[in-house]
Structure 1
Amino acid sequence: MQVMILDYKLLFPSGSAIAGLVNSFHTPAGAATAKLQIATLLRSLGGSFSWAVFQWFYTGGDGCGFQAFPLFGLEAYKKRFYFDFSPSLVGIGMICPPMVNFSLLLGAVVSSAILWPILQGKRGEWYDADASPSSLRGLNGYKVPMGISLVLGDCLFQLAAVSIRAARGFHHRRQHQQDEDDGGQQSLSYDDRRRIHNFQSEGMPTHVSLAGYAILAGIATVFLPGIFPQIRFYHVAVCYAMAPLLAFCSSYASGLTDWSLGTIYGKLAIFIFGAWVGEASGGAIAGLVAGGVVVVVIGNSSELMHDFKSAYLTLTSPLSMFASQVIGTTLGCILNPLLFLGFQEMAGGADHLGEAGSLYAAPMAMAYRGIADLSVEGIKTLPRHSVMLCVPCFLVALCVDALAAVAAANGWRIKGYVPNIMAMAIPFFVGPTFAIDMCLGSLLVILWRRRNKQAANLLSVVVASGLICGDGLWALPSSLLAIFKVEPPMCMKFLSNYQTEQMRKHLILAAAARRRTS
């Protein structure tokens, strides 16, 4: 916690946005600044919400709306290079460092514009041409392992760097270390020193954290095999033993880009434990259970780090944030089963919930089940050369991280231009779309600072918070409209010249047929 927030100074954009929203109402700069920030926040929030409402009217069909706007042409659109007009992603881009956002774009170009077209040329030769997009037998069998190789290489390097730093600090004399800390503290502003003091003074002791985690892991290890006989107690124990390392990796990624990799590691756990248990012993169910454990542990760790970042910036007690998280998780354990039963009743019974074509089809559930079914066959389900291509990805991650560390240690000029591997890996999983939105956010801040640096530093986080919150507020009205089956009245769609000509011919034939019948 302290390493990521105090040492690495990771932003955790959602947590920073929440803190910026709270601090805008309690700024120490005076009433005039507070009024300016609140007015800017309300304008940004209102504009974002209004834009979300406006976009909804044009989404009355599959692939309709501004979210499918081919800004860079139809060929780039086919590779998912387009701007989807998402205010929340632009806001996140305004908070994230420009180098992180440009690393996202670099990773998108390397993956979607270079690697995937090359691999698509091997379709039918290296992998099954008829495989579904979510199947690990197809192109996804390259995307997921290569992305995970980059993530693991980066996170193992960062973990090793943290361990070395901790070992060095441990061997220094306490007084000497205290003198260094005091000297570093004097170079910080009063607000930063106060935040650090508050954050460190109310932290939870390490032994208490470890004991709590061990107790919860022990409870799950005892009871989960009783609920799901396909998984054994040692499988659950291994899940909880490997989860902290993966949680560190995911929290690091979330601190950089706001993206949690819990679901990615969950898929990896499904594949590993499904293959370990085997088909004859119910490996598919065991893999899904193991994946659920990993997703929950990693997801909670990333969310908690966002809360701690908010606590650090707002001078809130970290223990109170942790207690709130515990209370919320406990309530979720009670409410989620009730919500499941409610959806089950609305869907017409257990036989229809989650089925394809039903009211609540749960497509991701089907995707996870497909991975679990394939996992029981082991690594042989991956396409040809998939594992071989993971090796250079892992080595590239280590080399780039080593270059960044050496450049930072020696003060080289390139230290601010070395790409961030974790950010580059994200588009391997989710595509390039959001990278363009976030780069636009960075460009807006850069141009704003060139024009008025003081105003940009004062209001950029406030504007970003408004964009994120306004876009999020539309989720509730849109959900209510979907529940009451209110459809958007229009569809805006972009077609190629060939598709337009085909549609024109179809309309001419349809009109001629109507004339003949009349």
Structure 2
Amino acid sequence: MGGEDRVETGYGSEDESKDERHAKKDKEEEEEEMMMTVERVFESKEVPSWRQQLTVRAFVVSFMLSILFSFIVMRLDLTTGIIPSLNVSAGLLGFFFIKTWTKVLEKSGMLQVPFTRQENTVIQTCVVASSGIAFSGGFGSYLFGMSKRIAIQSGSTPGADDYKDPSLSWIIGFLFVVSFLGLLAVVPLRKIMIIDFKLTYPSGTATAHLINSFHMPEGAKLAKKQVKALGKFFSFSFLWGFFQWFYTAADSCGFASFPTLGLKAFENRFYFDFSAMYVGVGMICPYIVNISLLLGGILSWGLMWPLIEKKAGDWYSADLKPSSMHGLQGYKVFISIAMILGDGLYNFCKVLRRTLFGLYHQIRDKNSLPRVVNGSPTESSQLSFDDQRRTSLFLKDQVPTSFAVGGYIVIAIISIITLPHIFHQLKWYHILVMYLAAPTLAFCNAYGCGLTDWSLASTYGKLAIFVIGAWAGASHGGVLAGLAACGVMMNIVSTASDLTQDFKTGYLTLASPRSMFVSQVIGTAMGCVISPCVFWLFYKAFKDLGLSTSAYPAPYASIYRSMAMLAVEGFSSLPKNCLALCYGFFAASIVVNAIRDYVPKKYSRFIPIPMAMAIPFYLGSYFAIDMCVGSLILFLWERMDKTKADAFGPAVASGLICGDGIWTLPSAILALAGVKPPICMKFLSRAANNRVDGFLNSS
């Protein structure tokens, strides 16, 4: 799952019988034994050189998939900010496209280079690196939070130094300057992370096993069936989005405004909005995430906001605009910020503790680590055949450390010179301090991600907001300086953890570290162009983008800007009693996380996640209801046929997400061309309908 901080979270069934558990254990042991000997299966196949792994067809397919996935991530980022892992979809679609390509060439007798798992890994790496820029680029958070539209939405009247409206030129330039430093920061540590420390990187490991299975005979057959299921639900989702478009001629029209739970519930953001995308997201996200979202919506829109609304005239002026941060909107934003910061602080300390504890043990036990000399394990090593082969090939194609260090210094110098011209509020010494601290923070994030699968990129970004924003000060454009600093730090630590995940995937599929690095660089470069162009399409096509009433409210843009304002102005910007409530929810967020960690797992999996609960505080529960419907579908499917659900659930979910996501492209083009839907389907109360009828009859 992704959103504020991307994470993969497992879940299980509470009703498994003893026999089922034994059968499951036997199956897991068999799978583990197979995975341990996977290189025996591929032993007869020659491993292509790192240059042969980087094929033209791989990057053509990567470019096409990068556009598709950028639309998906952008739409999710601009609606709720919850972004599930799309690695499975990238690996599966990459396999399908290249396999189709090679089959056509094979039949025509023109096939010269067979499709390998290393090439599949290159595609997956490139696509995820490219679409990852749509998240770390801040289009739904810090970057869009700089705009005048969000500044006004946040209830302030910005001065010339307090906003910077989006423009393709400076966004692309900014991303190119800051997106590559994280890659160079962790390259010298690749052997330590993967070989010496043997970090697990669960997502990278899972992706590698998936790709390995695709290229085994039985795995290829299953992959074809999965792709077929993905294509079927992709078509359904796309056509459903097209059908819904006909009924959206004006605001609040169409199926997305269907008051499924009643008009009063609709006013408080409780309704099912018929989004195939969020049903699909719900099928991928763990059950507890979806339940947490729903609980957050019930707590806020069902209880808190109606009670605080009754305090209008006492706690805040009753004459304020709905968007004013000194009214109800302020409670919505700042209480959700308090929960997000509490959750982020707890997990930062937790991951940091595990990082330091892990490092201590690694250093203490370094004499017992397998030794590697000249790219080969020594005789004293107890490595399995798989690990011996993987270690030997992983150390064969080195990315020179001098290249990484020299590249980091050169790009840092260019960045220190360039960034103050893009954001004059951000001074060269602010950037220098960040770049001196960045390698350490990048290592911490990459190491912590290897242990926990949790990237704390946005937490480091928030840290930069408060430090640099307060340092710059209100009179020197501290709000914009803080948001820009967030972008610099978030991109560095995010790409660092992504690259080490990819190194782990490459290690397990025998893809060269050099091809992984080149693929990541090319994917990042693609993302620095594709993501801004996709965002620009949204920005130009949907004129209400970023407004709370929009189909694309970009909630984190307002939240990040409010954080920057808080860093610069202090607590004086909060409405009455808001600070006390923020303290309470900040503490509650830490306590709930601590309880989740320290109670037995059979109970902790029922305790909600504060980060997920915070999102509906601002947006409402409509998307949470969609996601719970997705969870219900998966739950019933697992009850009827767990094997089939496990095999095809991710493919069905990916189809629903991809189809609805790609419909955004023709929808945006139609909006830019001025083509409007022909019908407005709107729902009225009986009293409102009578007034409309009376007006029509009188005229």
Deviation at 1:161, TM superposition (A): 3.9
Find 1:380's aligned residue among 554, 562, 572.
572
Q: Is contact 1:221–1:237 with CA below 8 Å preserved after alignment?
A: yes
Task: Point out the more displaced range, 363-372 or 392-401.
Answer: 363-372
Question: Does residue 398 in structure 1 map to residue 470 in structure 2?
Answer: no
2:404 is the alignment partner of 1:232 = no
Give the CA deviation at 1:488.
0.6
- 2:560 equivalent to 1:488: no
Q: Counterpart of 1:98?
A: 287
Paired residues of 2:472 and 2:481 also in contact (CA < 8 A): no
CA contact (8 A) 1:58 1:491 kept: yes
1:40–1:463 contact (8 Å) kept in structure 2: yes
Please report how far the alpha carbon of residue 307 of structure 1 lies from its aligned counterpart in structure 2 after TM superposition. Answer: 7.8
Q: CA deviation at 1:261?
A: 8.6
How far apart, CA to CA, are the structure 2 residues paired with 1:256 and 1:138? 39
- Superposed, 1:233-248 pairs within 5 Å as 233-237=428-432, 244=441
Match of 2:361 among 159, 166, 169: 169
Give, as a single letter, the amino acid of the residue that structure 2 aligns with 1:81: F
Which residue number corresponds to residue 91 of structure 2? Answer: 19
Aligned positions of 1:58-97 closer than 5 A: 58-97=247-286
Give, in whole Å, the separation in 1 of the partners of 2:398 and 2:628: 35
* Coordinate RMSD, CA, aligned: 5.0
Closer/same/farther in 2, CA of residues 153 and 128 from structure 1, 3 Å limit = farther
Residue 160 (structure 1) shift: 3.7
Q: Does 1:453 align with 2:642?
A: yes
The Cα shift of 1:80 comes to: 1.1
Partner of 2:521: 326
Aligned to 1:158: 350
| Structure 2 partner of 1:220 | 415
Matched with 2:338 is: 146
Matched residues in 2 for 1:67 and 1:343: separation? 18
Go from structure 1 to structure 2 and tell me whether the alpha carbon gap of 1:161 and 1:495 turns closer, same or farther (over 3 Å shift): farther
| 8 Å Cα contact 2:298/2:621 also seen in 1 | yes
After superposition, the Cα gap between the structure-2 partners of 1:342 and 1:483, relative to the gap in structure 1 and judged at 3 Å, is closer
Deviates more, 1:128-137 or 1:207-216: 207-216
Cα distance in 1 for residues equivalent to 2:319 and 2:679: 34
Q: Secondary structure at the match of 1:13?
A: coil
Q: 1:100–1:423: 8 Å Cα contact kept in structure 2?
A: yes
Q: Structure 1 counterpart of 2:339, which letter? A: G
Distance (whole Å) between structure 1 residues aligned to residue 545 and residue 639 of structure 2:
53
Select the residue among 684, 687, 695 that pairs with 1:498. 687
- SS of 1:504's equivalent? helix
Q: Distance in 2 between matches of 1:197 and 1:151?
A: 41
Secondary structure in 1 matching 2:86: helix
Shift of 1:207: 10
Q: Kindly indicate whether the alpha-carbon contact (under 8 Å) linking 1:137 and 1:382 is maintained by their aligned counterparts in 2.
A: yes
Distance 1:274 1:508, change over 3 A: farther
In the alignment, the residues of structure 1 paired with residue 500 and residue 591 of structure 2 have an alpha-carbon distance, to the nearest angstrom, of 31
Cα deviation for residue 270 of structure 1 reads 6.4
Provide the rounded CA distance (Å) in 1 between the counterparts of 2:640 and 2:267. 36
Q: Would the alpha carbon gap of residues 405 and 165 (structure 1) be closer, same or farther in structure 2, given more than 3 Å must change?
A: farther
Return 5+ residue gaps in structure 2 as ranges: 12-82, 100-213, 371-382
Q: For 1:156 and 1:292, how far apart are their aligned partners in 2?
A: 22
Distance 1:261 1:81 in 2: 31
Q: Distance between the aligned counterparts of 1:105 and 1:339, measured in 2? A: 30
Name the amino acid aligned to 1:405.
D
| Secondary structure at 1:391 match in 2 | helix
Relative distance call for 1:450 and 1:376 in structure 2 (3 A) is: closer
Instruction: Show the 5 A alignment for 1:1-80.
Output: 12-22=84-94, 26=214, 28=216, 29-30=218-219, 32-80=221-269
- The aligned amino acid for 1:159 is V
Deviations 1:212-259 (A, max 9, x none): 6676555434443355444433444566678859x959x98xx9999x
| C-alpha deviation, 1:95, in angstroms | 1.3
Which runs of structure 2 are paired with 1:44-443 in the superposition (5 Å)? 44-142=233-331, 143-144=333-334, 145-170=337-362, 172-174=364-366, 216-217=411-412, 219-225=414-420, 228-237=423-432, 244=441, 276-281=471-476, 283=477, 286-295=478-487, 297-298=489-490, 302=494, 315=509, 320=515, 322-330=517-525, 377-407=569-599, 411-443=600-632
Name 1:181's counterpart in structure 2: none
Change (3 A) 1:90 1:309: farther
The whole-number CA distance in structure 1 between the counterparts of 2:403 and 2:538 is: 38
Q: How far apart are the structure 1 equivalents of 2:297 and 2:390?
A: 36
Between the aligned partners of 1:80 and 1:378, the Cα distance in structure 2 is 31
Conserved 8 A contact 2:8-2:453 = no
CA gap 1:417/1:354 in 2 versus in 1, 3 angstroms: closer
Q: CA deviation at 1:292?
A: 2.9
Structure 1 length normalisation: TM-score?
Answer: 0.73
Query: How big is the shift at 1:134?
Result: 4.5
Q: 1:235 to 1:117 in 2, by over 3 A?
A: farther
CA drift of 1:110 comes to 2.1
Give the C-alpha shift of residue 128 in structure 1: 4.2
In 1, Cα distance between equivalents of 2:398 and 2:598 = 32
- Cα distance in structure 2, aligned partners of 1:270 and 1:128: 30
What is the CA distance between 1:462 and its match in structure 2?
A: 0.8
TM-score (norm 2): 0.56
Aligned-partner Cα distance in 1 for 2:627–2:264: 21
The share of aligned pairs that are identical, in percent, is: 37
Counterpart AA for 1:104: L
Distance 1:41 1:340 in 2: 26
Distance 2:621 2:401 in 1: 39
Map of 1:466 onto structure 2: 655
Shift of 1:309: 6.1
